[in-house]
Structure 1
């Protein structure tokens, strides 16, 4: 379970490295809030009293609830309540205010994606899938929703459904391009996500072939080079992986070079250590598109 989760975390950086992450600061807290409540609380410090912090968060949440009793559409209070409840570990309590934010902001997919992730964590996989698909119906190139739905399908042991979803997305991109429309779909990211599904299904040869195809099509893009390096590192082909890490480092924007070097160095000290980059990957800052 941990190994699979770590691989998907690596995949998150690979597929979304050149796209903006969700603008909401709440997203990284979901899924690991119980382990980082202190670090995600603005006023926390290493010596902070956990009980006092808990009381402060509960007070904040109650304050937002009182505001919403008077002003149910107050988005500042809704956002604050979501944030406080996440930090309190009350994931079920996040659903209602998020649903309200989605209703009030139909053109902002970030709220819908966060709602889908919340449902996914709660075990409501059908509800999560429905929300992800609603986002993708409006924005087929939304990588946050696409990745979320892909991971969900893999979690359900439906890799072929995940493959079909990604292949359909690539077909949509080709169709839009042929019609002269702006697709808004990062096809490199989609192909990397598709390759990751092959890796999860133990179809390593298919994944490597897709990486090679993508590298040939986009020789200046560091992402497929880094993805291939991580897979080969995990397979024990250290020498080839190290050469690819060096190539990825030379191609990558400055903000990613240290991360890549850390991934490469872990591979030198422990076979198959690519999955141990969890802390570094989870703390990686959001990044915008790169030339």
Structure 2
């Protein structure tokens, strides 16, 4: 139950990651989807985009279309080259680098994934999707203390970063991620301490309240968790209230469409980015 609840909480904090994870789920084709007429049609579309790119190598609509087709085919590795080009063409749009890092991580290039995340953080130290991705990689490598230190360092330098570029570090989002890491390591007291600070600074944000309730519930402190679940449900958008009610009752939450951080960092879209969407004017010609 606790694992499912923390996964639900992650959806609330990191919409880009959740959005792409949905894409990756779709990208694993069924036996019928990966064969026959449908697969042939997808390959024809891919060849069309490749022909466009032979004439116009920087055509971003064709690059995005090729990425989308390769994902539909389940050929995630083939998205690396067009994503690299999209990242080069859009240096001020870190979401392409985030997607590239996710793809590299999925295909086993953990070093390449980590470097892509670090490249983002070198110029956007509060980019929450990159922080989440890099911390996940560190956890996979068995380095939870390094993941925690990454987030603590980000929080310690947040005031300076936000003075230089207002809104560049979303403090509540980073605090929520740090609390989640503590909770997943069963360092519950430290998680609750982080959540309490976040609640004090953001009393109308339901996310840290819900996070604290989840941790208390994981510890078996259901009576302490109950009023927090009620408060989180009251403050949350209507589309999340059923899931929060189920968690309060000890049931697993169903997947839902994620929402944005309460205060998105500068330069981060308020909705999941659209690098995988195609535009009608770039329909490939065979």
TM-score normalised by the chain length of structure 2: 0.81
**For the Cα contact (< 8 Å) 1:14–1:192, is it kept in 2?**
no
Partner of 2:98: 113
1:285 Cα deviation from its structure 2 partner: 4.8
Whole-angstrom distance in 1 between the partners of 2:178 and 2:249: 27
Residue 32 (structure 1) aligned with residue 21 (structure 2): no
**What secondary structure, in the 3-state scheme, does the structure 2 residue paired with 1:224 have?**
helix
**For the Cα contact (< 8 Å) 1:211–1:224, is it kept in 2?**
yes
1:8 Cα deviation from its structure 2 partner: 5.7
Residue 10 (structure 1) aligned with residue 3 (structure 2): no
The RMSD of aligned alpha carbons is: 3.0
Whole-angstrom distance in 2 between the partners of 1:171 and 1:109: 22
1:15 Cα deviation from its structure 2 partner: 2.4
Q: How does 1:33-72 map to 2 (within 5 A)?
A: 33-34=26-27, 51-72=36-57
Whole-angstrom distance in 2 between the partners of 1:25 and 1:15: 9
Whole-angstrom distance in 2 between the partners of 1:94 and 1:190: 29
Structure 1: gaps of 5 or more residues: 39-46
1:115 Cα deviation from its structure 2 partner: 0.2
Partner of 2:280: none
Whole-angstrom distance in 1 between the partners of 2:29 and 2:33: 13
Q: 1:61 to 1:233 in 2, by over 3 A?
A: farther
1:232 Cα deviation from its structure 2 partner: 2.5
Partner of 2:255: 280
Q: How does 1:1-291 map to 2 (within 5 A)?
A: 6=4, 9-16=7-14, 21-22=15-16, 27-34=20-27, 51-177=36-162, 179=163, 181-252=165-236, 254=237, 257-268=238-249, 270=251, 273=252, 277=253, 280-281=255-256, 284-287=257-260, 289=262
Q: 1:133 to 1:48 in 2, by over 3 A?
A: closer
**For the Cα contact (< 8 Å) 2:18–2:258, is it kept in 1?**
no
Which structure has more relative contact order (CA 8 Å, sep 6+)? It is 2
Whole-angstrom distance in 1 between the partners of 2:19 and 2:57: 21
Q: Could you report, residue by residue, the CA deviation over 1:38-69 in whole angstroms, capped at 9, with x for unpaired residues? A: 9xxxxxxxx99974332222221121112112
Whole-angstrom distance in 2 between the partners of 1:99 and 1:49: 25
Q: Could you report, residue by residue, the CA deviation over 1:232-251 in whole angstroms, capped at 9, with x for unpaired residues? A: 23333333333212101222
Q: 1:69 to 1:37 in 2, by over 3 A?
A: farther
**What secondary structure, in the 3-state scheme, does the structure 2 residue paired with 1:202 have?**
coil
1:123 Cα deviation from its structure 2 partner: 1.5
Partner of 1:42: none
Q: 1:69 to 1:105 in 2, by over 3 A?
A: same
TM-score normalised by the chain length of structure 1: 0.80
